[in-house]
Structure 1
Amino acid sequence: MKILKFGGKSLANGKAIGTVVDIIDDNIKRGEKIAVVLSARGNTTNELEEILEKASKNEDYKEQFAAFKRYQLEDFKGINFDKEYETLDKLFEGVSLLGDYSKRIKDQVLSHGEVISAKLLTQLLQEKNIKAHFTDSRTLIKTDGEFGNAQPLDKLSKENVIKHFERYNGATVNVITGFIASNTKDETTTLGRNGSNYTASLLANYLEAEELQNFTHVDGIYTANPDLVPEAKKIEKLSFKEANELAYFGTNILHAKTIIPLIEKNIPLRILNTFNQNDNGTLITSETSEKGIKSLSVLEDVALINLEGRGLLGKVGVDARIFRALAHKNISVSIISQGSSERGIGFIVQADKANEAKSILELEFEADFYQQDVSTIAIENEVSVISIIGQDLSTFHKPYNALIKNQVIPLLFNNTVSGKSVSLVVRKIQLHKALNVIHGEIFEISKKINIAIFGHGLVGGTLIDQILQTAEEIEKRKKIKLNIFAVANSRKVLLHKNGIDLNWKAELEKEGNVYMVNDVIKFANKCHLENLIAIDNTASKEFTRNYLGLVENGFDLVSSNKIANTLSFDFYKELRTTLENNQKHYLYETNVGAGLPLIDTIKLLHLSGENITRIKGVFSGSLSYLFNTFSSEGRLFSEVLHEAINKGFTEPDPREDLCGNDVGRKLLILARELDLSNEFEDINIDNLIPENLREGEVVSFLERIRELDLVYQKVKETQEPDHVLRYIGDLWGDLSQEKGNLDVKLVSVPRSSALGQVKGSDSIFEIYTESYGDQPIVIQGAGAGAAVTARGVFGDILRLAEKGNH
């Protein structure tokens, strides 16, 4: 025989209850011997409890009760629940008059949910010519006298069940009420949380069933709650031991007391989806499955109690006193651990027991308060417990570090004696994000990186296209899922939790909203997005003011914008301190040399203790092209400059390149990488624009561009033979001191030198060190262009994404 148990959502009005009838019919047609155990339909139990509460407060409950009655009969003809409704009427009326109710009365009220459910299904089966027998489990399952959470009397219950099934068996389908039972005085009792599953489990045990099939609204047990973790995967097989741990740590479908009767008789439990009969569900047996992490479970209706005091440190027996005092009042402690203070103990209790637990402990530790050994007993209500079933402590650092990186700081954690499960207490507001972070880390599914891109001009737009075009391949190769959830310009932002697509530009124009950066932060928090990266592809000084706020709210930073690294040295230090305090990273490889690995190289050399004595080179791809072409061809300076403008090598106003500030900023960034405290004002900049052309509109400047020809023709002609012009940055002096010398200038160098051989728009950097002497480390390559810069920013994103993956 098989026991089929159906949950409340499987029995709701509409398609649901009809599907249950079909499932039972199919089993009978296949020749299966079955018994059916039912929960109350839909939201029935909660509704009855709400009506009871209203009655006890002398509130108007009759309208809700009338709606309740209509729902039960809504889609069905010829069903009569007059007897049940009459009893409920009397119970509610009595409670309303008394203004209170006992647990005994509550059990009587709630029992009607299962009775109505079983009577209805019995009649629906009979209408399909299926032999079905309504079975009130109060005649079968006998319990002690504890109302609300009664314990079965096994010997008596088993005898009743066996006798009943000897009489009603064979072709008859027993439709049995779950959850309810009766004591030896025949008073109605209930079996507490997960009671209907417990009824099914007890029947399976007494009848030595071949399998218990638990029909729910999901395909089985998942690696996490799919409502909270979209990437959760179904678990095909579990052992009873693993299921027991999952049940203990809060998996909704299971409960420890449900598992135990099945373990005793080695009866398999299969979790199935009523609405997806093609799926085999999750099978739970005595067979030990493969080792490894199985699932994340969550306990939500809990509170954290912190007991703190200077006298607790090293004191023996404090834990025992807590357990003893609470156990005396039937309050269970599920997790206990070192609290947030080194002089404290934190532990978890049911949320509705927290205030009572606090009062009990205040009484227990009254003398300790007086002696000032205990200073605080405090309740934190907004917490949840995440348990990682199968987690070995030897690899626990991976999910733990990922949580810290995402600014989720566990309030406490502990592990089971076996060392194969770990529980964390987190703030409820962070539960959703924490689950996704842990799940992505331990199940090695694609790690989701959520990206906000500010600025979508040449570099930003190219970057977006590069990410969208390669995201699928990167996920396949690297198990990194790049999700651009925000794209913003100076006016509007486009926000999509699950990522933008190739139509982002049109959507931004059409659907984008006026925003502040804080709106993007709020959106990320609201959607519980993890692994956040903010990309600054603007050239805005104003935008850099948002860096600190972004970091403090969990964002790593990647920037092609040079300004943040060249503002005051105080801001430079404050940003680094904020990054360190929040364990965030800031990558800006493209600040100098576009896609060339320059900053990384300098960082590594400096970190390794190598004494860098000088850095010089052609820092600007735009000016590299300008002077390389002007030096090697017999054309006018203005003609070459026009060509550079038309090819997009310069800014729209070429004076932004010619003034030397861009090269100066890049040089200052490198100086600060060597821990020098130079300010921008310390740079000696050779401005390439004659003073009379520095002011005014860009149109006016471009009209007078030929005035540059005479100046630079003269510079070109006064060079030594076989020399060429190069506009360079030069960091020199005793770089072990607080500041170095920074020069930005136009120089003439031999054509055969490293600087002299640079072609096109390439940049070149010579890094001189104490170890290498006169032979510099040379880094050379494309120093300009949107595609190159965007690729460099992309590289920084991937570098951040891979941190912690290994």
Structure 2
Amino acid sequence: MKIIKFGGKSLANGDGLKQVISILKNKHQSGEQVVVVLSARGDSTDRLENILELAKNGKSFSEEFRAFKEYQLDPCDNICLEEEFDLLERIFEGVQLLGDYSNKVKDKVLSQGELLSVKVVTILLKENGLKAELTDTRKLIITNKNHGDAQPFEAVSRKNIRDHFKKLEAGAIAVVTGFIASDQEGETTTLGRNGSNYTASLLANYLDAEEFQNYTHVNGIYTANPEWVHNAKKITHLSFQEANELANFGASILHAKTIVPLIEKNIPLRILNTFNPENEGTLISSENNGKGIKSINVINDVTLVNFEGQGLLGKVGIDARIFNSLSRENISVNIISQGSSERAIGFIIKTADAARAKETLEQEFESDIEKKDVHGITFNNEVVIISTVGQDLKTFHNAFYSLVKNDIEPILINNTLSGKNVCLVIHKKDLRKTVNVIHGEIFGISKRVNIAVFGKGLIGGTLIEQINESREKVLRRKNIDLNIFAISNSKKVLLNKDGISENWTADFDKKAINYGLEDIISYTKKHHLENLIAVDVTASEDFVYHYTDLIENGFDLVSANKIGNTIDYGFYKDLREQLRLNQKEYLYETNVGAGLPLIDTIKLLHLSGENITRIKGVFSGSLSYLFNTFSVEDISFSEVLENAISRGYTEPDPREDLCGNDVGRKLLILARELDLISEFGDISIHNLIPENLRNGEVTEFLSRIDELDDVYHEIKEKQESNHVLRYVGDLSGDLSREDGGLLEVKLESVPGDSALGQVKGSDSIFEIYTESYGEQPLVIQGAGAGAQVTARGVFGDILRLAEKNNK
């Protein structure tokens, strides 16, 4: 014999009921002998409790009750439930008249959910040609009078059940009410939390069942709630001891009292999915695989009590008074956090006990409150407990660090003496994000990094394509899931919490909406997105001033936009302070040298105490190509410039490159990396554009670029032999002083056989002079221009940031 139990979601109208009948029909046809235990269908229990509350508060309950009755009658055309409906209506009317109800009355009301459930399923089984016999456990399971959480008297309940099932007609399916029982006087009682599972477990014990199969709406027990964590993994097998551990720490499918009757008789429990009956589910048995388990469970309906009193400093016995007064009211305390001085104590209780706890504590400390020795006793219902079962505290630091990085601050934290279970009390609003963050850390399952790309132009579009092309490879090699959830231009944004598709350009045209930055921030909170990175591939100064908003709302930053590092020094320092306060990162390697590892190298040298004495080089890939080509080929300057424009090396208006401001900004960034207090106005910049061509429309300038030919032909001819032209940035002076830097951007003639002189194509080159290296500089050289190179550099920053936070 097998005990089969179906939960409320499995028994809901529609697909649920159809699946239940199909499963039972298949089991019967295959010759299995089964006893079926049922919960109330759908959300019937919640509906009944809601109607009870409406009646208690003197409100009209007729509409809610009508909807409840329609739901119960919907699956069957020929079923009569008037007896149950009449009883409920009389009770509701009486409660409305009295304005209150007892737990005894509540048990009588809630029990009707299970009674209606077994009636409906019994009729449906018969309509499908099966023998079915309704069994009301109020006649079999006898309990004490503790309404709402009654305890069975085992001897009499066991005898009743065994005697009843001996009389069961051969080949009939017993359809049994879960959750409900009766006391010795015949009054209806209920078995409390997980009551239907408890009923099934008792039947399995009393009837020496072969197996207890618990059908739910999921495929088994998971490492975390699969509705919240997209990569939660199913646990295929648990020992009873492990299952009991999970149950004690809040696993919603399990309850400790459900496990005990099964352990006594060594009866396996299998968690199965009504909607996927072919799945093998999770098996719970006496066997132990020796690997141990890890799971993240959530305990809801708890309240944080915070007890504070400066006047109690140095006094002893305060905690004893608190817990003794709660104990007298049979109020259990879960997690405790206490200062050594006893002036502040925080602890967790069930929300159902909060009102009584408040009353008893205020009575106990009435005189202390009057004397202001106790400043406050506060109750916070907006908290939950997250328990990580099987997790060593000694390795929990990674998860804790990730929580802090995601702006989640646990209110309380504790662990068991074994060190194998860690519990956190957090704000409800952070629940789903917290579960995802912890899950990614403790299971080593891929960590999702949620990316918002601001700017969908050439570099932004190239970056998006690169991420899409490399996503699977990064996931496989680094265990990091790069998820672009937002793409925006200056006016519209495309949002998808599960990630944009490969057809993102078409989706943007069809689905992008007008937005403000606050809309993207709200979207991340609504969908509990963790590990946020904002990528700025715009050239917008306005957007840079929103960096702080992003940082304060949980984003790390990656930027190809130089403006954030080159506007006024006050903003530059304030931004770093906000990064420090919020423990966020800001990476911008592509600000200087596109994809070259320049900024990281300079940061490392400077941080290590190395005295950098000079940085000089060709900072612009565009201008590098221009002068590398012009210096060695017999070609006009305007022709080289036109080639650079056609190759996409320059900005749409090439004067933005030729004016030298871009090189100046790069030089300023490097100066500030060395802690120099410098502003853009401190830079001496050689503007390559003659004054008569600096203003006007870009089209006019492009039509007149041949006017540059004579100017640069003359400069080229005046060089020494074997020299070439290079447009360089030069940071020199006493770089050990905050105000000691000399910043110059200029056109120089350098020997052709020098490091600068040998640069080819559009490469950039940087010479870093230090005290340790002496006259021999550290040279970094490579591609310095192009959307592919810059986008790849931005991608590298994203990966560095994601991998750093993944450790």
Give TM-score scaled by structure 1 length: 0.96
Q: What is aligned with 2:775? A: 774
Partner of 1:516: 516
Q: How many residues align?
A: 806
Aligned-pair distance for 1:367? 4.2
* 1:473 aligned residue: 473
Give the Cα separation in 1 of the matches to 2:340 and 2:297: 23
Residues 315/674 of structure 1: CA separation in 2 closer, same or farther (3 Å cut): farther
Structure 1 residues 719 and 413: CA distance shift in structure 2, 3 A: same
Deviation larger for 246-255 or 742-751: 246-255
Match of 1:152 in 2: 152
Residue matched to 2:240? 240
CA positional deviation for 1:701: 2.0
- Looking at structure 1, the residues matched to 384 and 452 of structure 2 have their Cα atoms a distance apart, in angstroms, of 29
Counterpart residue number, 2:674:
674
Secondary structure of 2:755's partner?
coil
Structure-to-structure mapping, 1:689-704, within 5 angstroms = 689-704=689-704
Per the alignment, residue 537 of structure 1 pairs with 537
Q: Distance in 2 between matches of 1:431 and 1:340?
A: 30
Residue 785 (1) aligns with residue 786 (2): yes
Q: Distance in 2 between matches of 1:456 and 1:62?
A: 56
| Cα 1:124–1:652 shift into 2, 3 Å | closer
Q: Secondary structure at the match of 1:11?
A: coil
| Distance of 1:212 and 1:670 partners within structure 2 | 69
Partner of residue 216, structure 1 = 216
1:738-753 alignment, distance < 5 Å: 738-739=738-739, 740-753=741-754
DSSP-derived class of the 1:32 partner: coil
Say if 1:340 and 1:412, in contact at 8 Å, map to a contact too. Answer: no
Q: Contact (CA 8 Å) 1:339, 1:412: kept in 2 or not?
A: no
| Partner residue in 2 for 1:26 | 26
Between 377-386 and 118-127, the greater mean CA deviation after superposition: 118-127
Matched, 1:587 2:550: no
**Whole-angstrom CA distance in 2 between matches of 1:343 and 1:453:** 48
Amino acid in structure 1 at the alignment position of 2:760: K
Q: Once the 2 structures are TM-superposed, how far is the Cα of residue 50 of structure 1 from its aligned partner?
A: 2.4
The residue type equivalent to 2:162 in the other structure is I
Secondary structure of residue in 2 paired with 1:322: helix
Kept in 1, the 8 Å contact 2:603–2:673? The answer is yes
Identity rate, percent:
65
Q: Encode CA deviations 1:129-187: one digit per residue, 9 max, x unaligned.
A: 54433221111111111112211112222222222233337544332211111111111
Residue number in structure 2 paired with 1:201: 201
Mapping of residues 282-361 of structure 1, within 5 Å? 282-310=282-310, 316-338=316-338, 343-361=343-361
Q: 1:360, 1:289 → 2: CA distance?
A: 47
Distance in 2 separating the partners of 1:384 and 1:760: 60
Q: Distance in 2 between matches of 1:477 and 1:489?
A: 31
Give the Cα separation in 1 of the matches to 2:93 and 2:504. 61
Whether 2:8 is the aligned partner of 1:8: answer: yes
Q: Judge conservation of contact 1:306–1:339 (CA < 8 Å) in 2.
A: no
AA aligned to 2:608 is S
Query: Distance in 2 between the 1:316 and 1:804 partners?
Result: 44
Name the SS for the 1:533 alignment partner: strand
Note the alpha carbon deviations across 1:711-765, whole angstroms, 9 max, x for none. 2222222222111111111111111111211111111111111111111111111
* Alpha-carbon distance between aligned partners in 2 of 1:12 and 1:57, rounded to the nearest angstrom: 29
What is the rounded CA distance, in whole Å, between the counterparts of 2:6 and 2:314 in structure 1?
52
**Whole-angstrom distance in 2 between the partners of 1:574 and 1:786:** 31
- Asked if 2 retains the 8 angstrom alpha-carbon contact of 1:33 and 1:170, the reply is no
Q: Which residue of 2 aligns with 1:88?
A: 88
Q: CA deviation at 1:482?
A: 1.0
RMSD (CA atoms)? 2.0
CA distance in 2, matches of 1:756, 1:313: 75
Cα deviation per residue 1:468-523 (whole Å; 9 max; x = unaligned)?
11111211221111111111112221111111122222222232222222221111
Deviations 1:610-633 (A, max 9, x none): 111111011111111111111112
Tell me which residue corresponds to 1:167: 167
Q: What letter corresponds to residue 469 of structure 2 in structure 1?
A: Q
Shift of 1:438: 1.2
Moved more, 722-731 or 154-163: 154-163
Structure 1 partner of 2:765: 764
Secondary structure at the residue paired with 1:226? Answer: coil
How big is each residue's C-alpha offset from its partner over 1:642-666, in whole Å with a ceiling of 9 and x where there is no partner?
2222222111211111111111111
* Counterpart for residue 394 of structure 2: 394
Query: Partner of 1:185 in structure 2?
Result: 185
In structure 2, do the counterparts of structure 1 residues 314 and 642 end up closer, same or farther at CA, with 3 Å as the change threshold?
farther
State how far apart, in whole Å, the 1-side matches of 2:292 and 2:667 are.
51
Shift of 1:312: 5.6
Encode CA deviations 1:350-389: one digit per residue, 9 max, x unaligned. Answer: 2232233223222223344455543221122211211111
Aligned counterparts, 1:423-462, within 5 A: 423-462=423-462
Question: Residue 293 of structure 1 contacts residue 442 of structure 1 at CA under 8 Å; is this kept in 2?
Answer: no
Q: Which residue of 1 aligns with 2:612?
A: 612
- SS of alignment partner, residue 352 of structure 1: helix
Higher mean alpha-carbon deviation, 763-772 vs 444-453, is at 444-453
- Alpha-carbon separation, structure 2, partners of 1:690 and 1:340: 75
Counterparts of 2:564 and 2:428, CA distance in 1: 35
Conserved? CA contact 2:316–2:342, under 8 Å: no
Partner of 1:735: 735
What per-residue deviation string (whole Å, max 9, x for no partner) do you get for residues 518-548 of structure 1?
2211111211111111111111212111111
Shift of 1:408: 0.8
Letter in 1 for 2:591: N
Q: Is the 8 Å Cα contact of residues 224 and 233 (structure 1) preserved in structure 2?
A: yes
The one-letter amino acid paired with 2:793 is: G
In structure 2, what is the equivalent of residue 662 of structure 1?
Answer: 662
- Cross-structure match for 1:804: 805
Q: Which residue is 1:705 aligned to?
A: 705
* Deviation string, structure 1 residues 285-338 (Cα, Å, up to 9, x no partner): 122244354211112222211112335667654444332221211222222224
2:76 is aligned with 1:66 = no
Written as runs of structure 1 = structure 2, the 5 A alignment for 1:536-555 is 536-555=536-555
Q: Give the aligned residue type for 2:408.
A: V
State how far apart, in whole Å, the 1-side matches of 2:120 and 2:560 are.
68
Letter in 2 for 1:659: C
Cα distance in 1 between the residues matched to 2:205 and 2:318: 41
Please, what TM-score do these two structures have when normalized by structure 2? 0.96
SS at 1:765 equivalent: strand
**Compared CA separation, residues 51 and 514, structure 1 to 2 (3 A):** closer
C-alpha contact (below 8 Å) 1:210/1:267 kept by paired residues: yes
Gaps of 5+ in 2: none
Residue deviations 1:72-107, cap 9 Å, x none?
222324323333233223323332333322221221
Equivalent residue number for residue 726 of structure 1 = 726
Shift of 1:22: 3.1
**C-alpha separation in 1, matches of 2:524 and 2:66:** 43
Instruction: Tell me if the contact between 2:560 and 2:590 (Cα under 8 Å) persists in the aligned partners.
Output: yes
Q: Distance in 1 between matches of 2:534 and 2:656?
A: 26
Quote the Cα distance in structure 1 between the aligned partners of 2:163 and 2:434.
Answer: 51
Q: Secondary structure of the equivalent of 2:336?
A: strand
